A and B are shown apart, each in its own frame.
Chain A
């Protein structure tokens, strides 16, 4: 009998160790809260009769963040609530960033597709009144490609070599000065670059307006971007690779050419393409130096040309429905070209990137 009593498990009056399982919100909870807050935003907006959808969205965002916090505090506790509030803020910011982008893309595509066709891409504005429908962007595409191509040809070698100098050779005062001026150049407004070329090339040397004049201004804008991105990419190449190559008795210049640059080429290509994308959309220097034209001019070194941003600007300024349609279509073409260039850069980066297997 006493034996049986002894064998009974003793009553455990020690404090229980904290359990690891806590009450959790179900997986669908954030989505549900988001739905409710969107409904709340729309409801509040409708009731108050606000016209602006921005206000609806802001209400929804506030309700979402506050609702997440409250619900989580009640169900899961304070620490989880902090975690959830950070997550919900990230989501709200993501939506805030994506909405203008999506709306921009949507507007450009829907409005641009109205007149965008093979005829539009293959004809210029020659012999057309501004308010007439028809015409095209061929001359502007040619102009943009030539000007951007020339600018790239000028800026990339200089920028690349500058970056190589800064990372591989530059020590002391000259390197610091170069870095400083590259930083200053990054901040040059595009119109200032245009005015600089206008005052030297056109007004002082008396060379006429031309695609080349524009591309020189574009090269000025492009150079610091190329230097900066290339510099960062070269710094990422481990010193061990440089040393390995030097220790094999490879001269420094060959080490840079055959080991350092190939290792970084993916990143460099991406940087160059970002710079190209930046200058492709520049209007101000082109307006000052290329001046605009209705006609096809394949020669960037003589006479005025057109370019896509300039064409958009001109057509929008005309303001007739036909011209505005053309402006949107040209904007779409411009975005498409930049996107194609970006895809190209990604392709190069992926193709050239160091592989593990």
Chain B
């Protein structure tokens, strides 16, 4: 079910500006991979190339290969819409659809892609909300607007929405940066559970978080202002945080950076 991601020689551009340069890495299935690095080093851009969301930005362009098991996502003839159904995404700021109820938010991906029976949808709603650890908090108010939930609940609603379409990879772009510590803990616990079923890639500015939730950690950096971001190293999280092989990683992690 979960898939391996194999990136080779990937560069991404905004118009003529090169944002990330020649990145190659492998993301193992059923694991959590964390991306850390200073702001503007291209972590989010790289994340968005993994489900072809980068090209949604005006001027966005990608070179290189992203293999999802045996399929190159950037081969000609690949439908980006189909890619995004397989590789789901959770954003930095909770963004439930304001016109929809909690129930409709969860099933949005399914309903907008085809017709389902109400029974099926009800089952999916419960399963996804349980999966996102939100079921007990909202089961009595499924028909209320999703925008009425607290920030942390909204973010978990967005996670439920993302896993309701049964993706195989889940990309998370700083999912906890707008949340308080308790909601963060809830989301982190959730990530631990979700990795049984999904391949998870998470961008975070919080190094403790990376150390807590991830199996492998990738450190990104840029060599200078205006230069594209690069992957410095990727290794087991334990090694990155105890004995990284590159000096810059150690400097960043220990706060001696810049």
Q: Do the two chains bind?
A: yes
Query: Which residues of A are found within 8 Å of B161, using beta-carbon distances?
Result: 244, 248
Q: Which one of A249, A254, A262 has the greatest number of beta carbons of chain B within 10 Å?
A: A249
A248 to B82, CA, bound (A): 9
Q: Do A249 and B108 touch (CB < 8 A)?
A: no
Query: Which residues of A are found within 8 Å of B53, using beta-carbon distances?
Result: 243, 246-247
Determine, out of B86-94, B188-196, B226-234, the stretch whose residues face the partner at the interface.
B86-94
Q: Do B158 and A356 touch (CB < 8 A)?
A: no
**A340 contacts the other chain (CB 8 A):** no
**B40 contacts the other chain (CB 8 A):** no
A357 to B153, CA, bound (A): 14
**A355 contacts the other chain (CB 8 A):** yes
Q: A330-357 vs B: 1/0 string, CB under 8 Å?
A: 0000000000000000000000101111
Q: Kindly identify, within residues 238 to 260 of chain A, every residue whose CB is under 8 Å from any CB belonging to chain B.
A: 238, 240-251, 254-255, 258-259
Q: Do B99 and A262 touch (CB < 8 A)?
A: yes
Query: Which residues of B are found within 8 Å of A262, using beta-carbon distances?
Result: 99
Q: Do A357 and B109 touch (CB < 8 A)?
A: no
Query: Which residues of B are found within 8 Å of A247, using beta-carbon distances?
Result: 51, 53, 84, 88-89, 91, 162
Q: Do A258 and B112 touch (CB < 8 A)?
A: yes
Shortest Cβ gap from A268 to chain B (Å): 13
Contacts A240-B91, A259-B97, A263-B99; is A251 near B145 (CB within 8 Å)? no
Q: Do B112 and A248 touch (CB < 8 A)?
A: yes
**A171 contacts the other chain (CB 8 A):** yes
Q: B92-119 vs A: 1/0 string, CB under 8 Å?
A: 0101111100000000110011000000
Contacts A241-B97, A356-B147; is A171 near B84 (CB within 8 Å)? no
Contacts A356-B147, A356-B148; is A249 near B85 (CB within 8 Å)? yes
Q: Do A246 and B84 touch (CB < 8 A)?
A: yes
Contacts A244-B91, A247-B51, A247-B162; is A354 near B98 (CB within 8 Å)? yes
Q: Do B56 and A243 touch (CB < 8 A)?
A: yes
Shortest Cβ gap from A122 to chain B (Å): 41
Q: Do A241 and B112 touch (CB < 8 A)?
A: no
A246 to B79, CA, bound (A): 12
Q: Do B145 and A248 touch (CB < 8 A)?
A: no
Contacts A354-B99, A354-B145, A355-B147; is A249 near B162 (CB within 8 Å)? no
Q: How many of chain B's residues touch chain A, expressed as a range?
A: 20 to 34
Chain B residue at minimal CB-CB distance from A250: B112
Q: Do A249 and B99 touch (CB < 8 A)?
A: no
Contacts A243-B56, A263-B97; is A248 near B148 (CB within 8 Å)? no
Q: Do A250 and B147 touch (CB < 8 A)?
A: no
A259 to B108, CA, bound (A): 9
Query: Which residues of B are found within 8 Å of A250, using beta-carbon distances?
Result: 81, 108-109, 112-113
Query: What's the tally of chain A residues with a CB closer than 8 Å to chain B?
Result: 25
Q: Kindly identify, within residues 119 to 151 of chain B, every residue whose CB is under 8 Å from any CB belonging to chain A.
A: 144-145, 147-148
Which of B51, B81, B145 is close to A355, meaning CB atoms less than 8 Å apart? Answer: B145
A357 to B84, CA, bound (A): 30
Chain A residue at minimal CB-CB distance from B164: A248
* Chain A to chain B contacts (Cβ below 8 Å), 20 pairs: A241-B95, A241-B97, A242-B56, A243-B53, A243-B56, A243-B89, A243-B95, A244-B91, A244-B95, A248-B84, A248-B161, A250-B109, A254-B113, A255-B112, A259-B112, A263-B97, A354-B98, A354-B145, A356-B148, A357-B144
Query: Which residues of B are found within 8 Å of A171, using beta-carbon distances?
Result: 58
Which of A243, A254, A258, A357 is close to B91, meaning CB atoms less than 8 Å apart? Answer: A243
A345 to B152, CA, bound (A): 35
Contacts A259-B97, A354-B147, A357-B148; is A246 near B56 (CB within 8 Å)? yes
Shortest Cβ gap from A105 to chain B (Å): 36
Shortest Cβ gap from B3 to chain A (Å): 15
Shortest Cβ gap from A74 to chain B (Å): 51
Which of A242, A248, A263 is close to B108, meaning CB atoms less than 8 Å apart? Answer: A248
A347 to B85, CA, bound (A): 37
**B165 contacts the other chain (CB 8 A):** yes
Q: Do A249 and B56 touch (CB < 8 A)?
A: no
A357 to B112, CA, bound (A): 23
Query: Which residues of A are found within 8 Å of B98, using beta-carbon distances?
Result: 241, 263, 354-355
Q: Do A244 and B99 touch (CB < 8 A)?
A: no
Besides A242-B56, A248-B162, 13 more A-B contacts (Cβ < 8 Å) are A244-B91, A244-B161, A245-B108, A247-B53, A247-B89, A248-B85, A248-B112, A249-B85, A250-B81, A250-B113, A259-B97, A259-B112, A357-B144
